[in-house]
Amino acid sequence: MARLEELSEIIRRDEPLAPYVRLRLGGPAEMLAQPRTSQELSLLVRRCFEERIPLRVLGCGCNMLVRDEGVPGVVLRLSEPAFTQITVDGRRVRAGAGTPLSGAAAWAAWSSRE
């Protein structure tokens, strides 16, 4: 996992996951990564693949249970602005991968009124 050291600014080790899931239960992530840019995301995914480090994506945590022993490998959270932006172009709504579905739906409904 030495190759992840270059991403130390976006990775927290032994991060409790309970605050990120709806039931507020469960153990820590071995590593919780929150990339700030698509370049950091790309590098993180590439390093996990090369090092065979398990990579899991954490959404809004509504349909998730985390075991008390925690989660090995990297848990990815796309919560930074680069991944949560919503844009509307005519009838097309584009939402980043970290955008909550409710937010995207609200934007789509709002923009359809114009």
Q: What pLDDT score does 45 carry?
A: 97
* Sheet with 28-33: strands ordered across: 11-16, 28-33, 71-77, 55-58
In terms of domains, do 29 and 9 share one?
yes
Tens of pLDDT along 62-88? 778 899 999 999 999 999 999 999 888
Q: Pairing state of beta strands 55-58 and 71-77?
A: parallel
CATH number where 50 lies? 3.30.43.10
Same domain, 104 and 55: no
15 vs 91 pLDDT, higher one: 15
pTM surpassing 0.95? Answer: no
Mean of pLDDT over the chain: 89
Q: 14 — alpha (psi -120 to 50), left (phi > 0) or beta?
A: left
pLDDT, residue 5, reads 87
Segments forming the whole domain that contains residue 36: 2-81
pLDDT band at 2 (very low <50, low <70, confident <90, very high): low
